[in-house]
Structures are given as C-alpha cells and as structure tokens.
C-alpha cells in the first residue's frame, strides 16, 4: 500500500488497520517480557519442525525462527526430509515433549501426504501446543477454559479489539470454517458476546449474509471473493486470505476481499499484505512465553488479553 492510498482512505475516515505496526509493538512487548523472565532464570524455548521443502513453508519457518531469536527465546530447529516416516516424526515429538528447555512445539503444516497431520497434532503435549491445534486446547477454547489459542485467530482478535474494545451485541460473520482460522475465531468472538455466523462454500446467498456483518472476517482462500457491495457500511473488515495471483505479468499477493471497493464502504479494514499476516508470528511467540510461564508456574509478564 502506498502513502497516497493511506491518505485517501484517511480522508474517507476508513481506518486502515496496520497489522505490521501492531505486530511490531507486540514484538517489542514480547522482548521485554522475555528479558523479565530471563532475569528470573527462565528462558522460554520454541522448537520448530519442518518436514520437506515446500518453499512457502520454508519461508514461514525461517521467519518464525528469526523472530524468536530476536525476541530472546531459545530456538530449536528440526528440518527433516520429505521422506521422513510418521513414526520418526512422532518419535521426535516425543523427545520434544520430554525436553525441559522446550516450552513450545510447532510442526509446520502442511505435512507430506503420507503423514497423518491430526495424529501428529494430537501427539504434541497440550501444554506445549503453541499452535493451539491439539484437541485438548480446541476443547478448552470452546468450553471457555485457559487454552493456548491458535495464532491467526488470536491475531485477528487483537486487530479487531484495537479498533473497538467492546464487541458485545455485534453481528460477526466469518467466511471460512477451517479448524485453524474460522472455527477458533468464532469461539473467540462468542467470548466477546458477538452474534456469530460461520459462512462457508455451501452457504446460501453469501453476499446478503456478509451484508449483515458489523465484523466481517474473510478466511476462504478465494482471491477477492468479497467485494465492496457485500460490506455493510462502517463494518470492520478483517482479511485473512493470502492468495498469489498473476496481474499484468507479475505475481502479487491479494486477500479474499477486493480491497479498493471494500475500503470505500468499511469503517476499518486490513490490507493484504500487512494486515493479519504479521500478527500470526507475534502471537506464536506470545503463546510460547505464556506456555513457558504456565509450565514453570511463573507469573506471566504479559498483559491479559
């Protein structure tokens, strides 16, 4: 996004939600929290496991490792060939579950097709499950317990609450029902007393469902699916989608929302890139610090969310 875009949006009083800036401030808060814990003799550790050489996954993993080192965390990196057997991967997870200096375990998805991702996710110690995908954490989230919360939905909530702190009574529509984004985000919005609708590929008349939303979250993985005329005037629009498309002979990233037309109607909107994306890693590090504190019975230096 150019400076001109921002100025034009400002004139229309649409809030451009700058995820990169929010994430940067969260990173600096996390660095201070880690310093505080290190002084108290606790250095949180994050183990990241990558199986295979999917280029996008390699980039995500590199960024996660770089950010954890910058935050002062102990970083453990396990890069395994795509031929790794499920048994060997489960054995590694077993070792990481028992390692006292590892507080968080992240297995980068997707895994090669011969490995059952659900089995792997369920093998991670729920106390170290910083992705929040273990059935125990999923259950705790839905029951209202103290769960580790999936990073992307947590990032979305921080952005939404940065715009508006009281969400009770608002209509929230989430387009997408995946286990990693749509469903956990629905639970978080319910916690905030929103009236939540989860829409998906079989939803009838999606445009009119979206038009009811005070908070509209797009997580469908469909380039520019949601146009401005699907957006209720003044709505908060959160675009989780990351889609690589060809435009004028080059590859660019677009979200699930047609940004220009939606921005003209929305009250607040995230861009792609620079919206939800940067929040995901910051939330991963936050979860690792939280997990370390809980495992070691240390008071958390982090703000309560």
Is residue 201 a contact point for ligand NAD (CB under 6 A)? yes
Q: Is 153 in the site for ligand NAD (CB under 6 A)?
A: no
Question: DSSP character for 257?
Answer: B
- Interface with ligand NAD, residue 62, by CB under 6 A: no
64 among known catalytic residues: yes
Is there binding between residue 106 and ligand NAD (CB under 6 A)?
A: no
Which residues have a Cβ under 8 Å from the Cβ of 83 and sit 6 or more positions away?
none
**Residue 52 to residue 114: CA distance in whole angstroms:** 12
Structure token digits, residue 25? 């401030």
Stretch touching ligand NAD by CB under 6 A, among 35-43, 88-96, 132-140, 238-246: 238-246
Q: For ligand NAD, which stretch binds (CB under 6 A), given 68-76, 82-90, 275-283, 293-301?
A: 275-283
Distances (CA, A) of 222 to 22, 26, 60, 218, 239: 25, 29, 20, 9, 11
Interaction between residue 240 and ligand NAD (CB under 6 A): yes
Active-site entry in 18, 129, 131, 214: 131
244 binds ligand NAD (CB under 6 A): no
Q: Which residue has the tokens 């989780």?
A: 240
Per annotation, catalytic residue among 64, 128, 140, 183: 64
215 binds ligand NAD (CB under 6 A): no
As beta bridge partners, residue 272 has: none
Binding of ligand NAD by 184 (CB under 6 A)? no
| Of positions 40, 62, 66, 200, contacts ligand NAD by CB under 6 A | 200
Residue with smaller CB distance to ligand NAD, 16 or 37: 16
- When asked if residue 175 is in the footprint of ligand NAD (CB under 6 A), the reply is yes
Residue 119 annotated in active site: no
Residue nearest to ligand NAD (CB): 178
Q: Which of 243, 253, 274, 295 binds ligand NAD (CB under 6 A)?
A: 243
Cβ neighbours of residue 28 closer than 8 Å, sequence gap 6 or more: none
Does the footprint of ligand NAD cover residue 177 (CB under 6 A)? Answer: yes
Contact 158, 26 (CB under 8 A): yes
CA dihedral of 30, 31, 32, 36, whole degrees rounded to 10: 100
Give the helix ranges, DSSP H, for the chain: 3-11, 19-39, 55-71, 86-98, 117-123, 135-143, 151-163, 182-191, 206-211, 259-263, 277-296
211 interacts with ligand NAD by CB under 6 A: no
Measured between alpha carbons, how far is 110 from 221 in angstroms, rounded to an integer?
A: 15
Residues 276 and 19: beta-carbon distance below 8 Å:
yes
Would strands 104-107 and 171-175 be described as parallel, antiparallel, or unpaired?
A: unpaired
Would you say 127 or 278 has its CB closer to ligand NAD? 278
277 binds ligand NAD (CB under 6 A): yes
- The answer to whether residue 187 is catalytic is no
Asked if residue 208 binds ligand NAD (CB under 6 A), the reply is no
Chain residues that interact with ligand NAD, rule: CB under 6 A? 152, 175-178, 180-182, 199-201, 203, 206, 219-222, 225, 240-243, 276-277, 280
Active site residues: 64, 108, 131
């Amino acid at each position: 996004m150019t400076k001109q875009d921002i100025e034009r949006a400002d004139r229309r009083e649409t809030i451009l939600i700058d995820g990169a800036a929010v994430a940067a401030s969260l990173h600096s808060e996390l660095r201070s929290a880690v310093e505080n814990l290190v002084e108290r003799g606790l250095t949180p550790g994050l183990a990241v496991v990558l199986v295979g050489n999917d280029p996008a996954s390699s980039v995500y993993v590199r960024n996660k490792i770089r950010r954890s080192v910058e935050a002062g965390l102990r970083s453990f990196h396990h890069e395994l060939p795509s031929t790794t057997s499920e048994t060997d991967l489960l054995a590694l997870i077993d070792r990481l579950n028992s390692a006292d200096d590892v507080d968080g375990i992240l297995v980068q998805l997707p895994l090669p097709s011969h490995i059952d991702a659900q089995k792997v996710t369920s093998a991670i110690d729920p106390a170290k499950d910083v992705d929040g995908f273990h059935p125990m954490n999923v259950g705790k989230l839905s029951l209202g317990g103290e769960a580790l919360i999936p990073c992307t939905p947590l990032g979305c909530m921080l952005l939404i609450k940065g715009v508006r702190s009281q969400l009770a009574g608002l209509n929230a529509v989430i387009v997408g029902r995946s286990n990693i984004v749509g469903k956990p985000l629905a639970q978080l919005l319910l916690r905030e007393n929103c009236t939540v609708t989860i829409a998906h590929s079989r939803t009838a008349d999606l445009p009119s469902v979206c038009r009811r939303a005070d908070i509209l979250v797009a997580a469908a993985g469909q380039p520019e699916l949601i146009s401005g005329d699907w957006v209720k005037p003044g709505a908060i629009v959160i675009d989780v989608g990351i889609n690589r498309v060809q435009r004028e002979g080059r590859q660019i990233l677009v979200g699930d929302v047609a940004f220009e037309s939606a921005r003209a109607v929305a009250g607040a909107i995230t861009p792609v890139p620079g919206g939800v994306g940067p929040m995901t890693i910051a939330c991963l590090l936050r979860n690792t610090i939280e997990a370390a504190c809980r495992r070691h019975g240390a008071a958390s230096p982090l703000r309560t969310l």
